[in-house]
Structure 1
Amino acid sequence: MTQRLKLFYGLLGAVIGLCIGTFLKNFSTMETLSRCDTISLPTIQSRSPLEIINLTAEETPSNSQRTLVFVGVMTSKDFLESRAKAVYNTWGKLVPGRIAFFSSEGSSGDDLPVVALNGVDDRYPPQKKSFMMLHYMYEHFIDKFEWFLRADDDVFIKPDKLEKFLRRVDSTKAQFIGQAGRGNNEEFGLLSLEFDENFCMGGPGIIMSRQTLKRVAPHIPTCLKNLYSTHEDVEIGRCVQKFAGIPCTWNYEMQSIFHHNSSGNRAFSGNLKKKEVHSAITLHPIKRSPLMHRMYAYYLGLTAQELRQQSLYLHRDIAQMISLLQIPKTHKMLARGVPLFPDNDRDSFNFIDDHDILGNFPNLNRYMPDDLSDLKEWDFLAKSIYSASHLNPKRKMESSLREGLDDVIREIMENINTYSRQRGRVIEYRELLYGYSRVNSMHGHDLILDLLLVYKKYRGKKMTVPVRKHLYVQRSFTETRIREITNNDELPNKGLVQSNLAFNRFTDKMKSLFNDGFNDFYTAGKPRESNSNTFDDKIIFILPLSGRYEIFLRFLKNFEDVALRTNENAELLISLFINSTDHRISSVFQIIDHLNKKYQRHAVRTIKLYGEFSRGVAIDKAIQSSHIKDEDIIFLIDVDILFQTLTLKRIRQNTIRNQQIYLPIVFSEYNPELVNSHVGNIPYTTSSSSSLPSESRSFLSDYNKMSMNYEYYVNSSTLINNESGYFREFGYGIASIYKCDIMNSKINGFVTDIKGWGLEDVKFLEKILTASHQLQNQLLLSIADGVEINQNASSSNNLDVFRSPDPSLVHIYHPIVCDKNLEKNQYKMCLGTKSNTLGNFRLLKEKYFLKRDFMQLVNKVKEVVVN
Structure 2
Amino acid sequence: MGIRRGGLRPGRALILILFGASISIFITWCLSKSSSLPFLTACPAPLIHEKEKGFVFIGIMTAAKYVDTRAYNVWKTWAQHVPGKVVFFVAENTSSIYKDIPLVRLKGVDDSYPPQKKSFAMVKWMADNYMDSFEWFLRADDDLYIKGDSLEKLLRGLDPSRSHAIGQAGLGNSQEYGLLALGQSDNYCMGGPGIVLSRETMRKLSPNLQHCLEHLLTGHEDVELGRCIRKHVGVACTWNYEMQTLFHNNQSTSNDAYTGSLEEVKAAITVHPIKNPSVMRRVHSHVRVSKLNDLREKRATLISELSISPTISLKRNDPTTLEDVPLFSFIDNNRIIFCSDGVNCPRHTLEQRTRMEMGRIITQLFDDFNANARQRGRVLQFQNLQYGYERLIPRYGVDYIMDMILWFKKFRPPHRTTLSVRRHAYVQQSFAPLKMISSESIGSKLYDVAGNASNHIHIILPLKGRSLVFARFATHLRNWCMRDKKLSLIVVLYSSPDENETRNKVEEISALMDVKIVEMKDEPFSRGIALTRGSSHLSDDSLLFLTDVDMLISCDALRRIQLNTIYKAQVFFPIVFSEFSPDSWSENDRLLADSFHYGRRRGYFRHFGYGLAALYKGDLHSIGGFNTSITGWGMEDVDLFEKAVKSPSHRVIRAPEPGLIHIYHPIHCDPSMPSAQLAMCQGSKAASLASIDSLVQTLNHVS
Q: TM-score by structure 1 length? A: 0.51
Q: Which residue of 1 aligns with 2:657?
A: 804
Q: Which residue of 1 aligns with 2:642?
A: 773
**Paired amino acid for 1:309:** N
Which is richer in strand? 2
Q: TM-score by structure 2 length? A: 0.60
The residue matched to 1:188 in structure 2 has which SS? coil
* Residues 270/543 of structure 1: CA separation in 2 closer, same or farther (3 Å cut): farther
* Residues 300/186 of structure 1: CA separation in 2 closer, same or farther (3 Å cut): closer
Q: Which residue of 2 aligns with 1:378?
A: 328
Offset of 1:836 from its aligned partner? 9.4
**Paired amino acid for 1:665:** F
**Paired amino acid for 2:605:** E
Q: Which residue of 2 aligns with 1:47?
A: 47
The residue matched to 1:806 in structure 2 has which SS? strand
Asked if the contact 1:70–1:148 (Cα under 8 Å) also holds between the matched residues in 2, the reply is: yes
Offset of 1:254 from its aligned partner? 1.6
Superposed CA offset, 1:471-512 (max 9, x none): 443332224568786899x46xxxxxxxxxxxx6xx65xx46
Offset of 1:194 from its aligned partner? 3.6
Asked if the contact 2:574–2:612 (Cα under 8 Å) also holds between the matched residues in 1, the reply is: yes
* Residues 560/222 of structure 1: CA separation in 2 closer, same or farther (3 Å cut): closer
Given candidates 467, 474, 478, the residue that maps to 2:432 is 478
**Paired amino acid for 1:728:** Y
Asked if the contact 1:53–1:99 (Cα under 8 Å) also holds between the matched residues in 2, the reply is: no
Superposed CA offset, 1:282-319 (max 9, x none): 234456xxx55x46644653465356436645764785
The residue matched to 1:197 in structure 2 has which SS? coil
Q: Which residue of 2 aligns with 1:685?
A: none
Asked if the contact 1:178–1:205 (Cα under 8 Å) also holds between the matched residues in 2, the reply is: yes
The residue matched to 2:182 in structure 1 has which SS? coil
Given candidates 268, 280, 284, the residue that maps to 2:268 is 280
Asked if the contact 2:409–2:418 (Cα under 8 Å) also holds between the matched residues in 1, the reply is: yes
Q: Which residue of 1 aligns with 2:57?
A: 70
Offset of 1:773 from its aligned partner? 1.5
Offset of 1:181 from its aligned partner? 0.3
Offset of 1:189 from its aligned partner? 1.1
Asked if the contact 1:637–1:734 (Cα under 8 Å) also holds between the matched residues in 2, the reply is: no
Q: Which residue of 2 aligns with 1:443?
A: 396
1:832 counterpart = 2:671: no
The residue matched to 2:241 in structure 1 has which SS? coil
Offset of 1:448 from its aligned partner? 2.2
Given candidates 142, 147, 153, the residue that maps to 1:158 is 147
Given candidates 106, 123, 134, the residue that maps to 1:145 is 134
* Residues 528/313 of structure 1: CA separation in 2 closer, same or farther (3 Å cut): same
Q: Which residue of 2 aligns with 1:785?
A: none
In structure 2, how many angstroms separate the alpha carbons of the residues matched to 1:307 and 1:799?
A: 24
Superposed CA offset, 1:747-783 (max 9, x none): 85664xxxxxxxxxxxx5x662245326755x67xxx
In structure 2, how many angstroms separate the alpha carbons of the residues matched to 1:731 and 1:75?
A: 40
1:729 counterpart = 2:680: no
Superposed CA offset, 1:52-102 (max 9, x none): 5434xxxxxxxxxx2x22334456899888877776666556542345566
Offset of 1:382 from its aligned partner? 0.9
Q: Which residue of 2 aligns with 1:496?
A: none
Asked if the contact 1:75–1:152 (Cα under 8 Å) also holds between the matched residues in 2, the reply is: yes
The residue matched to 2:244 in structure 1 has which SS? helix
Asked if the contact 2:74–2:280 (Cα under 8 Å) also holds between the matched residues in 1, the reply is: no
Superposed CA offset, 1:213-254 (max 9, x none): 556567667766875444343344345445655432232232
Number of matched pairs: 598
Q: Which residue of 2 aligns with 1:250?
A: 239
Asked if the contact 1:171–1:209 (Cα under 8 Å) also holds between the matched residues in 2, the reply is: yes
1:233 counterpart = 2:217: no
**Paired amino acid for 2:356:** D
In structure 1, how many angstroms separate the alpha carbons of the residues matched to 2:684 and 2:75?
A: 54
In structure 1, how many angstroms separate the alpha carbons of the residues matched to 2:578 and 2:430?
A: 33
Asked if the contact 2:396–2:431 (Cα under 8 Å) also holds between the matched residues in 1, the reply is: yes
* Residues 836/543 of structure 1: CA separation in 2 closer, same or farther (3 Å cut): farther
Q: Which residue of 1 aligns with 2:176?
A: 187
Offset of 1:667 from its aligned partner? 8.9
Q: Matched residues, percent identical?
A: 26
In structure 2, how many angstroms separate the alpha carbons of the residues matched to 1:745 and 1:107?
A: 32
Asked if the contact 1:382–1:433 (Cα under 8 Å) also holds between the matched residues in 2, the reply is: yes
Offset of 1:445 from its aligned partner? 1.5
In structure 2, how many angstroms separate the alpha carbons of the residues matched to 1:159 and 1:534?
A: 45
Asked if the contact 1:663–1:735 (Cα under 8 Å) also holds between the matched residues in 2, the reply is: no
The residue matched to 1:165 in structure 2 has which SS? helix
**Paired amino acid for 1:168:** G
Q: Which residue of 2 aligns with 1:4?
A: none
Superposed CA offset, 1:515-557 (max 9, x none): 9xxxxxxxxxxx9754xx95586979999799xxxxx9x9899
Offset of 1:164 from its aligned partner? 2.2
Which is richer in helix? 1
* Residues 836/545 of structure 1: CA separation in 2 closer, same or farther (3 Å cut): farther
Given candidates 269, 272, 285, the residue that maps to 1:301 is 285
Given candidates 192, 196, 206, the residue that maps to 1:207 is 196
Superposed CA offset, 1:101-145 (max 9, x none): 66789999997474858x988876565665676566666655543
**Paired amino acid for 1:70:** F
In structure 2, how many angstroms separate the alpha carbons of the residues matched to 1:540 and 1:39?
A: 61
In structure 2, how many angstroms separate the alpha carbons of the residues matched to 1:731 and 1:261?
A: 34
Offset of 1:405 from its aligned partner? 1.9
* Residues 225/486 of structure 1: CA separation in 2 closer, same or farther (3 Å cut): closer
Superposed CA offset, 1:828-853 (max 9, x none): 86452553999xxxxxxxxxxxxxxx
* Residues 370/179 of structure 1: CA separation in 2 closer, same or farther (3 Å cut): same
In structure 2, how many angstroms separate the alpha carbons of the residues matched to 1:409 and 1:143?
A: 44
In structure 2, how many angstroms separate the alpha carbons of the residues matched to 1:137 and 1:564?
A: 62
Asked if the contact 1:53–1:100 (Cα under 8 Å) also holds between the matched residues in 2, the reply is: no
In structure 1, how many angstroms separate the alpha carbons of the residues matched to 2:431 and 2:252?
A: 37
In structure 2, how many angstroms separate the alpha carbons of the residues matched to 1:826 and 1:537?
A: 26
Superposed CA offset, 1:634-663 (max 9, x none): 96577xx99888789889999999976765
Asked if the contact 1:108–1:116 (Cα under 8 Å) also holds between the matched residues in 2, the reply is: no
In structure 1, how many angstroms separate the alpha carbons of the residues matched to 2:389 and 2:434?
A: 26
Asked if the contact 1:128–1:224 (Cα under 8 Å) also holds between the matched residues in 2, the reply is: yes
The residue matched to 1:146 in structure 2 has which SS? strand
The residue matched to 2:605 in structure 1 has which SS? coil
In structure 2, how many angstroms separate the alpha carbons of the residues matched to 1:222 and 1:33?
A: 14
Offset of 1:269 from its aligned partner? 8.4
In structure 1, how many angstroms separate the alpha carbons of the residues matched to 2:272 and 2:476?
A: 60
Offset of 1:563 from its aligned partner? 8.2
Asked if the contact 1:182–1:199 (Cα under 8 Å) also holds between the matched residues in 2, the reply is: yes
In structure 1, how many angstroms separate the alpha carbons of the residues matched to 2:63 and 2:567?
A: 42
* Residues 194/450 of structure 1: CA separation in 2 closer, same or farther (3 Å cut): farther
Offset of 1:180 from its aligned partner? 0.8
The residue matched to 2:134 in structure 1 has which SS? coil
* Residues 803/827 of structure 1: CA separation in 2 closer, same or farther (3 Å cut): closer
Q: Unaligned regions of 5+ residues in structure 1, if any?
A: 1-30, 56-65, 325-358, 492-503, 516-526, 547-551, 579-588, 604-619, 683-712, 752-763, 781-790, 813-822, 839-860, 862-867
* Residues 436/245 of structure 1: CA separation in 2 closer, same or farther (3 Å cut): same
Task: Report the structure number with the largest CA radius of gyration.
Answer: 1
Offset of 1:178 from its aligned partner? 0.4
